[in-house]
Amino acid sequence: MSEPTTQRLSPSGHVDTFARENLPPFEDWPVLVGLDSLGYPERLNASVELIDTTMAAHGSDRPALIGVEQSWTYGELAAVVQRAANVLVDAGVVPGNRVLLRGPNNPWLAIAWLAVVRVGGVVVTTMPMLRAVELEKISDIARVQFALVDHRYLEEWQGTWSFHGVTIPFGGPSDDDLVARCRVASTVNVAADTSADDVCLLAFTSGTTGNPKATMHFHRDVLAIADTFSAHIVKPTADDVFAGSPPIAFTFGLGAVVIFPLRVGASTVLLEAASPPALLEAIPEYGITCLFTAPTAYRAMLPMVPVADLSSLRRCISAGETLPAATWQAWFDATGIKLIDGIGATELLHIFISASDDDIRPGSTGRPVPGFIAEVVDEHLMALPAGTPGLLAVRGPVGCRYLADDRQRVYVRGGWNITGDVYEIDEAGYFHYLSRADDMIVSSGYNIAAPEVEGALLTHVAVAETAVVGIPDIDRGMLVKAFVVLQSGFTADPSLAHELQDHVKATIAPYKYPRQIEFVDELPKTATGKLQRFRLKEITSDGG
């Protein structure tokens, strides 16, 4: 591992200095390691690197973006991104302006992302499912001045009362639509002369507490996640075809279906509808080789695998929630493909602990991705021995920088990114996820990790999904309660609840079994598909 990088900033290429002015002070940054070995120059534009530099290395005729109705080669992509960049410049965008993007995954959303970065703008990514009140918070925090919005998603955006900037729709029939304006725009565009450490992306946390945070990412960060996790774990080639379900607004999805394929000259299939059945249909239709989705989706696909054609698949990557060993084994047994698990964070842009191929240990997240270091520490940031639960602490070539937010000092302590996850390391150096720091259930003096109980329940044939929380109890301090969504064909009754309890007792230590089980039709989740445990806790505390 290389020496820590000295904290300094190069001369900015931004005319609008809002982003740089709102970076946290250096003393609150995490220590960066592994950055010097990546060798990025001082002047860098991530869009140019992902298109122009890649095209120079692999040719202009290779397929790049594939959509349901239209596809682009790298040469065609370069031309349309330059046209879109000129539309943005004509609209008044200058380097450093914040440009909000809103829409489902499709090629034009990716083109918009690349065009904003090319002109030196700061992309503000938003989930297409967000409502006006949520968009209002994001727009206010980021001081958004421009917006590129899929014409089908304009209504909620137009409901934001404080935005007074310029909105350009895309994908619709109007003359002011980005697509129409690109047809008559010039294909000659000089990219902004940005610094490698100019901010190009504001990615918001999912806001499960109701108060979102904007994470700030540089041009070099966009490339760093491709040159670490993707290069060393996914190991893509120019012949790969990427696809997945996570939205581009979710940094897991941004890397999966935009940054990683374009970095190596591969192609990416951008699907608006990416349900498990749709993904299975798309795999043979497009020859998909690298698939990214969440454990829930892999579980949902399992019953359909016997009649699906997965012959083109060589890589399946899972993230967004913990991957139970039972799900890993079931997918491997059904497909012969070893699921790549990983943990990442919006604050660090993408995955930093993972493993692939023969390095995979089912039930373990993996080991630090090359370029990163990680430890399990106590509340004083002292490293803990193997087998001892503690807080996950990470350092790498990327790190947390919140936009003007006091919570920076909570996430970054002693130069470490403290992710809020409870882990333990085994003797072989593999990291095992236990829970979020506030999800650990302490019952009768025992520490019980909710995901471990969930993993045990998921091995029962009747369980489709489950979530486990701790509820207050006078005698034990807390009790373990499970919310269970059943597979079709099973009836929610007390006898099945007892059967599930006995199953958990037989699968893991008996004291961990859920003393209460409530059958529900669905579990509360964020727009990115992450379980919202706090809502279940609220329901329980309210007596619901």
pLDDT tens-digit map of 373-410: 999 999 999 999 999 999 999 999 999 999 999 989 99
In this prediction, residue 356 carries a pLDDT of 96
Q: How many CB atoms lie within 10 A of CB 269?
A: 27
The fraction of the chain above a pLDDT of 70, given in percent, is: 96
Enumerate the H helices of 119-196 as residue ranges: 132-142, 154-158, 178-184
In this prediction, residue 206 carries a pLDDT of 58
In this prediction, residue 542 carries a pLDDT of 56
**pLDDT average, residue stretch 338-361:** 96
Banded model confidence at residue 211, pLDDT cuts 50, 70, 90: confident
Q: Above 80 in pLDDT, residue 526? A: no
Q: Above 80 in pLDDT, residue 293? A: yes
Q: How many CB atoms lie within 10 A of CB 162?
A: 8
What topology does CATH give the domain 18-425?
A: Rossmann fold (3.40.50)
CB 313 within 8 A of CB 288: yes
Banded model confidence at residue 1, pLDDT cuts 50, 70, 90: very low
Sign of the dihedral defined by the CA atoms of residues 256, 262, 263, 266, in that order: positive
**Strands of the sheet with 199-204, listed across from one edge:** 166-170, 146-150, 98-102, 122-125, 199-204, 214-218
What phi and psi, each to the nearest 5 degrees, are found at residue 521?
A: -80, -30
- Give the domain ranges of the chain: 18-425, 438-541
The fraction of the chain above a pLDDT of 90, given in percent, is: 80
The structure tokens listed for 163 are 């935005």
Any residues with CB less than 8 A from the CB of 302 and at least 6 apart, and which?
330, 331, 334
80, 104, 188, 366, 452 from 83: Cα distances, Å:
5, 21, 7, 43, 51
The structure tokens listed for 205 are 């946390």
**pLDDT average, residue stretch 221-237:** 98
What is the domain class of 438-541 according to CATH? alpha beta
In this prediction, residue 296 carries a pLDDT of 82
Burial 363-374 (b: 16+ CB within 10 A, else e): bbbbbbbebbbb
In this prediction, residue 162 carries a pLDDT of 86
20, 91, 104 from 150: Cα distances, Å:
29, 17, 8
**pLDDT average, residue stretch 480-506:** 95
CA separation for the pair 214, 208 (Å, rounded): 13
Please list the residues that pair with 413 across neighbouring strands.
Answer: 416
Any residues with CB less than 8 A from the CB of 306 and at least 6 apart, and which?
334
The structure tokens listed for 413 are 């302590």
Comparison of pLDDT for 144 and 295, the residue scoring more: 144
In this prediction, residue 209 carries a pLDDT of 41
Q: Above 70 in pLDDT, residue 6? A: no
In this prediction, residue 541 carries a pLDDT of 56
pLDDT tens readout for residues 350-359: 999 999 999 9
Please list the residues that pair with 391 across neighbouring strands.
Answer: 377, 422
